[in-house]
Amino acid sequence: MKVVRALGNGSCLFISLRLALEYYHIIKAKKDNASFECITVPEEECKVQSVITGSDPKIVKSAEDLRQLIVRWYETKLGQEMPDLGTYVERGRIMTRGDLIALEMASAHGEEIPDAIDSSVRQAAMRTYLERIRRGSWGSTPEYTAFAFMSCSLVEVYQVTNGVLKIINSVGPKTYKQTVKVLYSGRCHYDLLMDNEDFTILHS
């Protein structure tokens, strides 16, 4: 696989995910024998869309656009269940969007927050987390999980361990239209991974 490096500016995950969407459309067009002369194509020829349940498709023009769409995805329905993610083992119930944030906060920052979805403390903690993301904090598991469901993608996360590339997480809806692969290099940095065949098609 080929690594497409993302700038380490706090938005590397959003850059990589957004780029994956654009490359997917370009590669698909090339496979369908569309005539693209370069990677950067006019918007009317290659619309990059994020399908958000319950709203119209949105054009994702930048990593910042994707960041804000993901924050809004959480803000609007924090308590919505996500059956595809299975049961929340510690609580014995179906995972919700809010649970994703709660688990991330507990693992990354040691911020234990009450379980009740209507808890004012829980809500305040989540709003604080989302505000950090909105203003430019790095993304992680909750953000690429949101992206997976928003874009109908399977997101596979890889890491190099003892010189071997291994998958460390895989998340997405039961039915998906594309697979997006990212490389986690530690210290909250993510790069886009591409299969050799797709990389060759993209640059042909």
Strand (E) or helix (H) holding 183: strand 178-184
CB 140 within 8 A of CB 84: no
Nearest to 133 by CA among 145, 116, 149: 145
Question: How does residue 25 score in pLDDT terms, banded at 50, 70 and 90?
Answer: confident
Q: What is the mean pLDDT of residues 146-157?
A: 92
Q: CA–CA separation, 111 vs 120, rounded Å?
A: 15
| Percent of the residues in the chain that have a pLDDT greater than 90, as a whole number | 41
Nearest to 42 by CA among 56, 17, 27, 22: 22
The tokens describing 71, both together, are: 């924050």
Q: Is 88 helix (H, G, I), strand (E, B) or coil?
A: strand
Question: How does residue 133 score in pLDDT terms, banded at 50, 70 and 90?
Answer: very high
Judged against a pLDDT cut of 80, whether residue 34 lies above it is answered with no
Q: CA–CA separation, 114 vs 91, rounded Å?
A: 11
The larger pLDDT score, comparing residue 130 to residue 187, is at 130
Which residue pairs, CB below 8 angstroms and at least 24 apart, start in 160-164?
160/185
Nearest to 102 by CA among 138, 149, 131, 142: 142
Q: CA–CA separation, 6 vs 16, rounded Å?
A: 6
pLDDT of residue 50: 39
Domains, the chain, ranges and CATH? 2-202 (3.90.70.80)
Q: Is 159 helix (H, G, I), strand (E, B) or coil?
A: strand
Instruction: List, for residues 49-108, the tens digit of each pLDDT value.
Output: 333 333 445 567 788 989 998 999 999 888 899 999 999 887 788 999 998 998 888 777
Residues facing 157 on adjacent strands: 169, 182
For 86, other C-beta atoms within 10 Å of its C-beta total 9
Query: HSE-up of 9 (CA within 13 Å, CB side)?
Result: 10
DSSP-derived pairing of the beta strands 178-184 and 153-161: parallel
The tokens describing 34, both together, are: 């569309």
Q: What is the mean pLDDT of residues 175-201?
A: 91
Judged against a pLDDT cut of 90, whether residue 131 lies above it is answered with yes
